Structures are given as structure tokens and as C-alpha cells.
Structure 1
Amino acid sequence: MHESSHRNRPRNRLADETSPYLLQHAANPVDWYPWGEEALERARRENKPILLSIGYSACHWCHVMAHESFEDPASAAVMNELFVNIKVDREERPDLDRIYQIAQQMLTQRGGGWPLTMFLSPRDQRPFFGGTYFPKEARHGLPAFTDLLQRVAQFYRERGDDIAQQSAALQQAFDQLHSPPAAGDTALTTAPIRAAREQLAAAFDQQFGGFGGAPKFPHPSNIEFLLRQWRATAGADEPDLHSLFMATLTLKRMADGGIYDQLGGGFARYSVDAYWMIPHFEKMLYDNGQLLRIYAHAALATGEPLFGRVAGATADWMIRDMQSPEGGFWSALDADSEGHEGWFYVWQPDEVATLLDADDYAVFSRRFGLDRPANFEDIAWHLHVFRPEEEIAQELHIEPAEVDRRIARARQILLEARNRRVWPGRDEKVLTSWNGLAIGGLAVAARALRRADLADAASRAVDFIRQQCWRDGRLLAAFKDGRARFAAYLDDYAFLLDGVLELLQTRWRSDDLQFATELAEALLTHFEDRESGGFFFTADDHEQLMHRSRSFSDEALPAGNAIAAQVLTRLGLLLGETRYLDAAAKTLRAAWPALQHYPHAHTALLVALEEHLEPPEIVFVRGETQEAESWRDALANVYAPRRLVFAIPADASALPAAIADKKPLDETAAYVCRGVTCSAPVRSLAALVALTRS
């Protein structure tokens, strides 16, 4: 499946690409092109339809289709004869993936996914037929891939008028995707926040946590939203304890489940069952950046040791297995190794029994279900918490602390043994947007867990992105093999800006504030929809595609518009910059119709709405570095999602006016700002804590 198995084959045009996913297909007998003018021009010249195949390196079914069809000379011959074949890495070109996923759903009335297989007209790249995975032989109600190819090519040759008509209707449907914004006199209220909370409660799984049934995804934005809802009411006569319960039960069940790597830390992308037991085994940087932040917040909010442990182990995994020596974070670990999904992670009980001594095995096997029937494909055991430690301690007549010690020892031994196995493939491209999520997660965890090494890792990632992916005031989206490529997207600017703002609260560097301001300016200049509000996914000088999308809803990633609105509100208050505040407000107005109809699909945007309606509190601590940071750490001991705290050394230079006027005094002092109103200097830590609690 991987390149090494095809060393002797001639290589196609993908051989010059940097994407690990495209390079996996460089030795296919398919005459693949990357997306670009060469392929599009050939399709027009020869009047051949385009077969567009979109996937990513850690995608299991992408590997299956590649192995069955793209590596098969007979299938490749049909593809080469009838189509111009284009292969796209969705992680490098989320703009293309977004357009053609929506088109696939419009054409088939079914959900999308990967691999995405679309057939496009060579004239305008509009799709006329599509689907996801197609098998080599007919099965599961799906036609054989080569039969489908013949039928699609015949349809293109014989039904040109029908295709033109459908194409015009599809374009019209795309043009209608953008609703008009709320009228100028419409008051923005908390109504969608309350409605979303009720909708999440209705979908909540009371037994296993999460929302809906199998397959079950973490939905980090929902958990963050619920934690914030509880915190907002914590001082009320009737605090919203059910929101706290929904968030913490979900986090607890995931931490006990097989979606969490019980040996190495970090989370897989989703669970195939409703119990979080058996995951789809790929591990993505974007999930882990978000979940790290939430587990760190939950550890602060509840004092639950499990949440702190999981946050720490997830951060350790990110730094140990996913951070490049240069500082940027790589993208993903594959689901497959040695041709089998999950093979790297699963165990046989006798294998574990030989590695551990009898006492440790007695505890470990009971805790993680090795004393039960196989739970992975009836042949192997995937670690998942089956029994509480207290129960095991009672049964074996030992102290709970001894159970803990034995499990920790066993984990270490098994992790070292697992590391000697054949590893799943690692996608070593650095994506700017996902690095933004990782930086934000590490910065939050550094404060919550009091771990300076996490702030170090986040700082190295910011420095890497700034050095390698920031050119002439613009970002590039991806870096691999010494090359930064692809004009960046909304998510790159918004997520990185959010990560840098979180890092500034963990460790003040004036250069980072300057970088944040430059990111915000580029975002406003090149992405803002000045007519309707909000931000387009692509820049104003991006390659022209059939649609310039603008989306407000969360998917596996929070909506770029939501994070842009959150971070522009915060940065606008920090710098006293009304243009940022206005752009955030216009984004909320643009999204208001969607917020009213489907509030629970927009929880990240609801956080922005909440901070627009009631601006967060900003605390500036000025003084000698060590003492200023100790004041900040005292405030960071509590979960206060609506507070930003910046410890700015007295000798910090190049500060913008709105911050410079919070002058350092002879001794450490703090300024507490709510909206545009700031307190007189607060000269003792006790007084500061009292003021922030009021």
C-alpha cells in the first residue's frame, strides 16, 4: 500500500508533490495529476470528464480503494482511457474538499466522506455525478468501480444537455447557500444559547456520554460550550449542573474508552460504537489539540485527577510523537500498520502476561478487560477500562494506591514493547491551522497543569510557523520537505490567531502580540465579506473555483468564522481596536439566521455570541517577570473561561497604546478591565483575587 512496496514501478506526476497522501499514489498505474492548470487544460482540450479523487493519508477506506482499484492495472487502464484523473489531499486543499463534499450531498442526497469520488465537466469543473468509496467488485449495493466508470463516461458522451441543465441548477443551489444577514435593527440575544443547550440535552447519551449513537465523535466544541454554560450559572441560586454532568460524563467515558490511547495518551478520531470502546484508529492532531484544551479546562473546573492525567498524557503524546525537531507539529498517525487497521494498538493476553510480572498482570488484566472475551474483531483485545480500581483493590486485598502503582508500571513496560512494533504511517506535513489548535491546547494545559515544558513546545511551534509559513504579511497553509505551499485559508488565520492569544496569556512575548495583530489585519483585508459580514473560507486573491464558501457551522473542526469572531472580540478589547469588534459583531449578524434555526450545530459561534453580549474580563499584571507570573498563576487556579490574564513584564517594549497605558508601578500591580472600563491599579494579590471574584 505504501510507497516502499512499489519501488520498481514508473512514477506518475504525483512523484513531485510534498503531500504524503499524494506520494502514496505516485507509483499507481493511474495517470494521476495534482489539481492544477495542466490537468484542467488537458481535460478541456480532449473534452474528457475529470475523475476527482479526494482523501487523506490516515484514511482507512482511502487505502482500501487505492489497493483494490488504483493499484490494479486493469482498473487504471479504464480510468486513463476515459478520464483525466486528479488526486487531491483534503488537508492541503480543504477549499476543494468543502465544495465537492457539498456538491456530493446535493447530487446524491447522502452524507459525504472520504475517499470522495467526483466526476466533473471539463469546461467548468462542475460535478455531474459522485459518491465516496466504490468497491472493485459489486457489493453492499454499490456497483463495481470499472462498470461505474464506463457508465459515467457514456452518460457524459450522450447526455450533454442533461448535464448542462443539472450543472446550472447545482450552481444556483450553491449561490443560494449564503442567507442574508439579520436586519440592522434585530437585537442579538441569548435565545440561541438556551436553545442549543436544550437540543444538546435531548441528544445526550445519559449512560455513555456524547451526543447521538454510533459512530460517536468527540465534538469538542459542544463539550466546551456546556462547561461554559455551567460556569456562567455557578453563582446562581440554581446552577446548571446538568450541563456540567453532560460535559464531564462525556469526558470521563472517553477517557475510560478505547478512543483514548490507554498506553500512549492521545485520542483516535471517533468510536465505531456508542460506548467509545473501539475507535477508527487514526490519531489526528486537530482532535488532540482541541481535546487537550478541554481536559485541561475540566481539570481546573472539577479538580478531577483523571482529567489532569489525560490532559498531561495527551500533551506528552503530541510532543513525543507528533512534534518535528524544528518545532512544527505533524498532522496524523495512520489507522493501519502492516496492512491491518488497529494492529499497532491491540494485544493478546498471553503476550501481555509474558511482559508483566504476575502481580502487575493480575491488576492490569482486570482493569483493561484482558480477562474477558476479545473485543476487537473477535481475535484481539483493545485496551478499555472495564473495572474501577477500588473494586480491583478489594478483590486482590491491596491498597488502591498499589493498584495505581502497578498500572503505571505496566503501562510503561507495554508502551516500550508497543514502540518496537511496526508503526502506523505518520503524515509529516505541518498544517498551519491544526498547529494553531495544538498551540492553543498546549498553552491552556501549560497554565492548568503548571507545566512550563508545554509552553516551550507551543512557543517553538509559533516560531516555526512564523519562520516557515509567514511570507510578506500572508500565511501559507502547509509545510513539508522544506517547502511551504498553498495560500492559507480562513482556518489557518483564525486558529493560529487564537493559539497565539492563548500563548500570550501563558508566556508574554511582545513579538507574539505583533504577530497576532498582523494576522488579524490580513484576515480583515483578504477574507471579510464586507457586504454581508463574516469571512469567506478563501482569500480575495485565491484561485477562482465554482464557489467561494462561507460557513458558520462546526464540524470536526470548529467553524473558522466562529473562532475568528471569538478572537477578534478578545483582541479588539485587548487593543481597544473597534474595527475588530465591529467585524466580530457583523459575523454574528451574518450567522444569525443559522443560529436561530440550528443553534446546536454552531456551539463555537455561540461562545462568540456570549462574549459579544457580555464582554470577557481582561486582567493586565505589570511588574517584575517572576512576581507578575505568580499573580497570573494564582488567577489561573480557577476555571474562568470569560477571563483573560496577561502577565506583562515591567520592561516589555513595543507595546501598543491600549496596553502601554497600563503602566508598571514601583511594585507589581494589576488592572482589571470589563468591556472598555478599567479599574485603578490593584496593588496586592489578595485585592486582585477579591476583585475578580466579585
Structure 2
Amino acid sequence: MIRETEGHHLNRVIQENEQYTAAADEELLHGAYRQLENAFDSELGKTEAGYQPFSPAQLMFLMNYARVYSQPKALEMVEHTLHRMYRSSIYDHVGHGFFTYSADERGLVPHFEKMLNDNALLAMTYLEAYQLTEHPLYAEIAESIFSYVLREMTSSEGAFHAAEGANSEGETGRYYEFTRQEIEDVLGVEEMHRYCNVYAIEPEGDFAGQSIPSLMKGTPEEQAERRGLNPLALRNLLEEDRQKLLQYRETRVRPLKDNRVLTASNGLMIAALAKGAKALQQTTYADAGAKAADFIWNKLRDQDGNLRSGYRDGEFVHPANVEDYASLAWGLMELYEVTGQPAYLVKALELKDALFRRYWDPTEGSFQRSGLNREQQYNYGNEIDGYALPAGAMVLSLLITKWAAITQDSELMQKGEQWLHSMAGEASSHADRHAMYLLGMSYARLGGRQIIISGRTNDIKMQEMISIIHKSYTPDASIIINYEGKSEYALAELIPGLVGKPAINGEGTVYICRGFSCSAPITSTEQLREEFRPVN
């Protein structure tokens, strides 16, 4: 039974503003899916080994589409792409993390630069795939990305560097390539043959005798099955080999590092780490994200509270733009959801206010990129296809519905509807290039879902409920952890909908709200697990 809350009057706002969503209707979502499906089928038709990965935004859109519309083909496209990317050479099978792209269609000639924002978005994508399917490989890949970032891309202050270059010793990729003789010198003859057989390293090499490891012959488990080997034993041996090769590789001259701390890229990695802490139940990831967020908040704002775009060696790069505000707000929202600390939500909402104050154009009903003077209209065509930095306004597509639902702000709801309308025409013509916007539109159609968990900090059932929800696929939802006590009152000032949603009998209780109306409270962990059951 659905019952109304104090925010039920906002449903009238939605009805009164239906003209804003008339063009941005469900057919846009179906049209985008058909475009991506056709591209996928076309590439498979050329060759089964064809390598044409979707962007992270497109993969996230496809997962959401698969879940909302029970479309198995959409999930099949996602899983095929995620497996191909992992098995190819754009994944660093020795040191982990992903390179930016491949110069060939099979994914065997990587461009060896590693970008922070690429790896943040890919970590999010693999995490969502893990939450949706419970396939352990996706969790493993996301963890390996975080391992690389925390090991190689983290500054002494806890923030994250922008990129690692491709060149060392005057050659592109020299740091990452191996000859079979080098592998034999490091591992021994028998181990070299095992490693090279699994990772498709042939005697002639790929580039003048040099090779990049790949799993184009199949994952270790698949290869073990074909050869009648013990999969776990093979994986353990290959992990020992990997560590030895990484140790050897680290004796080489490393590529140059772009040690700038960029606000937007850091915001994305903070969001990814917070998502990782939820999906993988690893508090160390939340701690790393919080440390980076604290650095950005304390060091990359001026005396008036305005963000700076970047930081290097104690010097600011330049004033922030909409990408910086939006990406950092995303990271702070995710940190709030994993920690339940209202301070992160306060900061995210402060950035929301700054975004609308600085970048919102009420006459156009859309965001501009350049700030107060509005000299430069944002170019919405530069989304994240090809793994570029996400357009800030596109990131806001994911956040506005959540902010409106949390705050029950009717004016913000109206602006969100205007924003969806302003992009509808462009997205209908180029739906495949506006996947993040369409993802935000899908979230809006789902009614601004809120998942409220009320209870005491020392309640075991409360913690179990938080764990169940954190591990579930809920990217459209705002997760609100309402610890009853001191923080409850601070949180209620930010989230009016918390009123009347207590912990029943003092034990953990979950309320699921859509369109500002809430279902009956859930007090059973078994019922909660059924509510958030994965697709597989």
C-alpha cells in the first residue's frame, strides 16, 4: 500500500509541468537502446573478435535499461563489452588499471596513457555490473582499479593525480612491454611457458619482439577448464607470476606522471571509491575517498568558498567550471550514502546551490559552463563517449532528481523538468552520445526513489539492512541513513521526508519512497533481500 508524505504536493508540480517532459518521453530511452543495439550487432557481424567498447555512460545506461525494462539483450551487450575490455590489452594485466583506448579494433594496441577519470568511470561501471549480476569477476576488476589508483595515483595529501603518461626511455609503451626472454629471466622457463600461454605472448612478439599481456585466449578459468587444470591453482600461480613481473617492471624508468590534482577527476574517483565501499563492503575505500574529499574541500576553495579547478605544487590551476562543481558534488553525495555522515550531504547541497547560482540560465532552462559571466555556452556534444571527462551538466542529470526528492524542493523539481526538456531535442537526434543525460531521465521517470534506513548505530539489524542495500543495484536511488539520536535532528533539517519514518520498535526499519510517496515500512531482512534481489 502506497501512502502520501508531506511532499505529496510535489506530484502536482510534476503534473503542472508535463509540458517540459512531453518531448523527453520514454521513447527517447527506447530509441537510445535501439541505436546501441544496432551498433553492437553491426560490430559483431564484422568479426566475433571485434573490439568496439561502449563508453562507461552507455554501459550504465544499458544496465539501467536492462533492469527497468527486463531486457536481457541490454545486459548481454554490457557483459560482452566488460569481458572484452578486461581480456584485451587496454587493461594492464601486470599493474592493473585501464589505458585510455586501443589503436586497433581488437584491443591489442593500447594507447598507454592512464587517466584518473577513465579509471573512475570504469570502476563505477564494473561495480554496477557486480551489483546487478553478482558476478565476482566484476568486483575483482573494480578492486584492481582501486589497488592501482591507491598505489600509484595518490598524492601524499590523499588526493589523486590526473594521469600517467605513455612514454618512457624515449619510447611509447616501453615501460609496459615484455619479451619472452625477460619473462623467462624473471619467472624461470616452466613458469614463462605457463604465463605466456595464458597471456597470449608469442615468441615473435607483437611489436619487434615485445608483447603486451592479454587474455584474448580466454580468462584463466576458461583456459583451465579447456586444459583440464585446477582453475584456483592456476589463478594462484598466475598471481605469483604477476607480482614478480610487477616488481621487475618497477625497476624500469617510469612514464612521467601528470601530478595535478584536478577537482573534477577527483570528484569522480571519490564517487567511485564510495560506490566501491558500498558494493564491496570495504571501509578502506570510503576512508580514501573521504581523505581526498577533505583535501579538495579545504585546499581547492578560495576565501569566498569558490572552487578551483586544479592544484599542483601548492599552486591553483584556474577557477572551477561546472564539471568541477558537479563531479565533486557527486562524490560527496556518494560519501554521504556510504558513511551516513550529514556533513557530506551539507557540502553536496552547498555545491548544488553554487551550481544554480553560477551556471543556471533560467531563460534557457539549462546550465552553462563558464560561470558568472556566462560567456561560453556549454557544448553538450562532448559527453564521455571515448572516455573523456563527463560533461558537468550531464552529471547533473543524475543528481537533480535526487536533490529534488531529498529536499522536497518544488522549485528545484521544476528546474529539473526544464533541464530535461532543454536537452530532449539534442538527445533524440544523438541519443547514443547522451547516455548520461538519458540515464538521468530514466532516474527521473523512476520517481526520485529514496531508500530511508532508520535505526540505532549499535543495532545489528540496522547494520545488516545497510549492508543489504549498499550491495544492491540502486544507482537511481538516494540512500538516506537515519541514525536516530543526535545526527537525526541535523539530518531532518536537510531532509523533510524523514519526519514520520522512525525505527519501529527501536530496530532497523526501511522505507522505500517514489514520487514522494512511500511504501509500508520493511522491518524484515528477508523481505529486504527479496526487494533488492539481483537479476541473476
TM range (shorter): 0.7 to 0.9
1:304 & 1:210 partners in 2: Cα distance? 28
Per the normalisation by structure 1, the TM-score is 0.68
Paired letter, 1:672: I
Identity of aligned residues (%): 28
Contact 2:267 2:330 in 1 (8 A): yes
What residue ranges of structure 2 are gaps of 5+ in the alignment? Answer: 1-17
Deviation of 1:448 after TM superposition, in Å, equals 1.4
| Distance (whole Å) between structure 1 residues aligned to residue 210 and residue 252 of structure 2 | 16
In the alignment, is the contact (CA less than 8 A) between 1:214 and 1:271 conserved in 2? no
Q: 1:218 to 1:336 in 2, by over 3 A?
A: farther
Structure 1 residues 264, 597: CA separation in 2 closer, same or farther (over 3 Å shift)? same
| From 138, 149, 157, the counterpart of 1:326 | 157
CA displacement 1:202-227 (0-9 Å, x = unmatched): 21267779999999565111111111
| 1:259 and 2:68 matched | no
* Number of the residue aligned with 2:69: 233
- 8 Å CA contact 1:214–1:272 kept in 2: the answer is no
Whether 1:637 and 2:471 are equivalent positions in the alignment is yes
Residues 78-93 of structure 1 mapped to structure 2, 5 A cutoff: none
Q: What's 1:625 paired with?
A: 457
Counterpart of 1:474, as a letter, is: N
| CA shift in 2, pair 1:449/1:209, >3 Å | farther
Could you tell me whether the CA contact under 8 Å between 1:204 and 1:212 is conserved in 2? no
Secondary structure at 2:97 match in 1: coil
Alpha-carbon offset, residue 635 of structure 1: 2.2
2:193 match: 362
CA distances 1:54-113 after superposition (whole Å, capped 9, x unpaired): xxxxxxxxxxxxxxxxxxxxxxxxxxxxxxxxxxxxxxxxxxxxxxxxxxxxxxxxxxxx
User: 2:383 matched to which residue of 1?
Assistant: 554
Shifted more, 282-291 versus 649-658: the winner is 649-658
Give structure 1 stretches of 5+ with no counterpart: 1-181, 235-239
Is the counterpart of residue 579 in structure 1 residue 411 in structure 2?
A: yes
Equivalent residues in 2 for 1:197-596, closer than 5 Å: 197-204=33-40, 219-234=55-70, 240-375=71-206, 377-388=207-218, 389=220, 392-393=223-224, 398-471=229-302, 472-541=304-373, 544=375, 547-551=376-380, 554-555=383-384, 556-596=388-428
Structure 2 distance, partners of 1:256, 1:403, is: 17
Amino acid at match of 2:516: V
The letter for the 2-side match of 1:313 is: S
The answer to whether the 8 Å contact 1:473/1:522 transfers is no
8 A contact 1:296–1:448 mirrored in 2:
yes
Q: Is the 8 A contact 1:223 1:247 kept in 2?
A: yes
Distance 1:209 1:629 in 2: 48
Equivalent residue of 1:404, what SS?
Answer: helix
**SS of corresponding position for 1:308:** helix
1:51 corresponds in structure 2 to none
| Contact in 2 for aligned 1:205/1:211 (Cα 8 Å) | no
Instruction: Give the whole-Å Cα distance in 2 for the aligned partners of 1:322 and 1:371.
Output: 32
The equivalent residue for 1:667 is: 507
Q: Secondary structure at the match of 1:672?
A: strand
CA distances 1:171-205 after superposition (whole Å, capped 9, x unpaired): xxxxxxxxxxx975845311111111111112126
Provide the secondary structure at the position in 2 that maps to 1:330: coil
Q: Which residue identity is paired with 2:141?
A: V
CA gap of 1:639–1:382, structure 2 versus 1, over 3 A, is same
Of residues 183-192 and 333-342 in structure 1, the stretch that sits farther from structure 2 once superposed is: 183-192
Residues 1:357 and 1:305: Cα distance change in structure 2 (over 3 Å): farther
**Offset at residue 450 of structure 1 (A):** 1.6
Per-residue deviation at 1:320? 0.9
Measured at CA, do residues 421 and 209 of structure 1 come closer, stay the same or move farther in structure 2, by a change above 3 Å? farther
Q: How far apart are the structure 1 equivalents of 2:439 and 2:297?
A: 28
1:437/1:184 CA distance change after superposition, 3 Å: closer
Query: Which residue matches 2:3?
Result: none
Amino acid at match of 1:506: V
3-state SS of paired residue (1:204) = helix
Contact 1:448/1:637 (<8 A) preserved: yes
Task: Assess if the C-alpha contact under 8 Å between 2:405 and 2:449 holds in 1.
Answer: no
Listed one character per residue, the Cα deviations across residues 625-664 of structure 1 (whole Å, up to 9, x for unaligned) are 2533321111233323333323232231522251552445
Give the whole-Å Cα distance in 1 for the aligned partners of 2:290 and 2:422: 34
**Contact 1:632-1:646 at 8 Å conserved across structures:** no
For residues 20 and 344 of structure 2, the distance between their equivalents in structure 1, rounded to whole angstroms, comes to 36
* Higher RCO, Cα 8 Å, sep 6+: 2
Alpha-carbon distance in structure 2 between the residues aligned to 1:228 and 1:439: 22
Please tell me the residue identity of whatever aligns with 2:104. Answer: D
Provide Cα deviations, 1:463-504, integer angstroms capped at 9, x if missing partner. Answer: 111111123232111111122342211111111111211221
Question: Distance in 1 between the 2:311 and 2:192 partners?
Answer: 44
Per the TM alignment, residue 430 of structure 1 is displaced from its structure 2 partner at its CA by 0.6
2:496 to 633, 658, 672: 658
Q: Structure 1's 642 and 383: CA in aligned 2 closer, same or farther, altered over 3 A?
A: same
Looking at structure 1, the residues matched to 42 and 180 of structure 2 have their Cα atoms a distance apart, in angstroms, of 32
The within-5 A match list for 1:29-108 is none
| Residue identity in the other structure for 2:185 | T
**d(CA) in 2 for partners of 1:601 and 1:612?**
19
**Alignment partner of 2:162: what SS?**
strand
2:371 match: secondary structure:
coil
Q: Which has the higher helix share?
A: 2
Question: Pairwise CA RMSD of aligned residues?
Answer: 2.7
Residues in 2 aligned to 1:554 and 1:248: alpha-carbon distance in whole angstroms? 22
C-alpha separation in 2, matches of 1:541 and 1:629: 47
Rate the CA distance shift 1:679–1:475 in 2: closer, same or farther, 3 A: same
Tell me the distance in 2 between the aligned counterparts of 1:585 and 1:210. Answer: 41
The Cα shift of 1:416 comes to: 1.0
Distance (Å, rounded) in 1 between the aligned partners of 2:275 and 2:169? 36
Distance, in Å, in 2 between the alignment partners of 1:362 and 1:340 is 27
Counterparts of 1:289 and 1:483, CA distance in 2: 24
Label 1:349 to 1:428 Cα distance change in 2 as closer, same or farther (>3 A).
same
Alpha carbons 1:572, 1:578 under 8 Å: kept: yes
Q: Paired residue for 1:682?
A: 522
